[in-house]
Amino acid sequence: MDLRSNHPVGSPRWATRRAQWRVLGVRPDDLERPKIAIVNSSSGLAPCFSHLDPIAQHVKDAIYAAGGLGFEIRTVAPTDFIMAAGRGGGYVLSSRDLLADDIEAVVEGAQLDGMVCLASCDKTTPGQLMAAARLDVPTVVVSCGYQSCGILDSGERADIEEVFIRAGHVARGGTSVEGLCDLADRAIQGPGVCTGMGTANSMHIMAEALGMALPGSTPVRADSERMWDAAREAGRAIVELIARDLRPRDIMTPAAFQNAAHALIAVSGSINCVKHLRAIAREGEVDVDFGRCMDIAADSSRALAAVRPNGEDTIEDFEDSGGALGVLAALGANIDGSVATVSGGTLGEAVAAFRAPPDSIIAPLDGAGEGSATILILRGSLAPTGGIVKLSVSEERPSSFRGPARVFGSAVDAIDALDAGEVRRGEVLVLRGLGPVGMPGMGMASNVVFAANGAGLTEHIAVVTDGQLSGLVNKGIVVGEITPEAALGGPLDVVETGDVIEIDIGRRSIDLRVPGEVLETRRRHASPTGTAPGPGWLSLYASAVEDLALGAVVRPAARRRIHPTAVARVETEDVACRIP
């Protein structure tokens, strides 16, 4: 093969590489093989990453058997539950981009020929796919699986999602500390990512829907035979991709992103996938508006599975029903089968070969069952370029909400107000200053939502925020990731307590019912809401991150921080608001 990793025999670059690699055990006759990065975010900080080292070795052996030469490289290992403790959670999303840069520095610096990416916790999969799209070298994503969970004495399932939710009930007495400790001690019984349809499993599925993971490989039990088989097959597949010169930009086409939008709707996945898919498209310079992809998918697809916390089905039930491939098959004509996959074949060929088990929990799109899309992009005078709402699959869905705002600039203040009983029924809790620039790094608003749930207010208030939400949030009306964010001068920045906010799910709209001239007066005297970035990585991130509606991608010169449509004048019946 004509490989970029090979240099003329006898040249200084060839000689020094030979010297470096020979001491690592590379034989002289192996130096002409394709050089492949095995991207590993192994870490002892969380169970999401604790099992990756043996998988990396397994992939390395498979690559060698297929004719390649694997080199393991390490990256930052972002994990929400551990790393969200510092700086308001700003290190979590921002580490996605740091991970992509980690990969670029090694793969481009060493001029390696391809990558196998070991996908684990929430931000690793999107960061790896962003790097693949940016570098455009042949890449295979391997899902490294979800953890096993425990059972309480009552027979109730104990998992990390339930720990997160019930922790919000302690302050109001809904859960005792002892009961929470018992739940936490039993929730995780092995390595891997969270068991529910949160961001990690959702993004593993998105990798397969995009064609970047082997068909039929997601989701998967960690350390299971299926996981090891997929890792071994990835070693063969990456060598073949390099031989065929089939690259991520050949696979992740606009049609592939539309397929991913349909799949995201069908599994009722994490809303965080929307910004990640936008970022991947941005890095790959794909000519696609993923917000529009979501609109199209919401018009013609619906939730076909109700995996916890969306319903009572387990991720194990979902995997046994065919997982991502089962969903793609059930979506029928909504899926473009002509798109390529890393298997070397098309998605249509993989779907045609799939046979659903008789006890599948995945419903056919055209079969019995009712419902509509549970993930919707809302737009209006409060969110000119959009906000995202996720509704329940199994519970009665609210259709609209109108009420006065109660504004908070931090999650701590909002939770204190909820604990003190200061947030009243009928109000819209507004939490701002948590966007990628405002935090910086994007703050987590889920703890506020769970505190509201613990206070018994979920069905009686709405929550609106420019922060990010856990993939677990699906109760009541919660609109997250409002864009433009408050720190970029979005309308959220000039909302005052008492202003009326109207949310209409049917119309997919969210509007601030305040006269335009009042807003303009406020804007002239407003200072953008946010936290001073301070020194270090988050300061660099805040200075270079683009608008969330573009995926919150870090650019060296941040040429377009605000989505271009945000500069247009947004008008409703009684509101006119202009973003400067």
Per-residue model confidence as pLDDT tens digits over 281-308: 999 999 999 999 999 999 999 999 999 8
Above 50 in pLDDT, residue 329? yes
Q: Is 470 a catalytic residue?
A: yes
Mean pLDDT of 309-315: 90
Q: How far apart are CA 389 and CA 385, in angstroms?
A: 14
Q: 276 or 519: which carries more pLDDT confidence?
A: 276
Per-residue model confidence as pLDDT tens digits over 237-253: 999 999 999 999 999 99
Distance between terminal CA atoms of the chain?
A: 53
- Residue 471 has a pLDDT of 64
Per-residue model confidence as pLDDT tens digits over 66-102: 999 999 999 999 998 899 888 888 899 999 999 999 9
Mean pLDDT of 206-218: 98
The domain limits of the chain are 33-148+190-353, 149-189, 375-577
Per-residue model confidence as pLDDT tens digits over 478-506: 999 999 999 998 999 999 999 999 999 99
What is 540-578 written as a DSSP string? HHHHHBPPGGGT--B-SS-S--S-GGGGS-EE-SS-EE-
| Residue in 5, 95, 143, 470 annotated catalytic | 470
Q: Assign domain 375-577 one CATH number from 3.10.105.10, 3.40.50.720, 1.10.287.3510, 3.50.30.80.
A: 3.50.30.80
Distance set, CA 46 to CA 81, 120, 219, 375, 472 (Å) = 9, 11, 19, 29, 19
- Residue 370 has a pLDDT of 60
Mean pLDDT for the chain overall: 91
Residue 568: pLDDT band with limits 50, 70, 90: very low
- Residue 309 has a pLDDT of 86
Mean pLDDT of 47-56: 97
Q: How far apart are CA 441 and CA 233, in angstroms?
A: 36
Per-residue model confidence as pLDDT tens digits over 400-416: 999 999 999 999 999 99
Closest residue by Cα to residue 332 from 357, 304, 373, 295: 304
Q: Let me know: does 298 contact 262? Beta carbons within 8 Å.
A: no
Q: Retrieve residue 230's tokens.
A: 């997929």
Element (H, E) at 273: helix 272-283
- Residue 580 has a pLDDT of 31
Q: Assign domain 33-148+190-353 one CATH number from 3.40.50.920, 3.40.50.620, 3.40.50.2300, 3.40.640.10.
A: 3.40.50.2300
Above 60 in pLDDT, residue 570? no
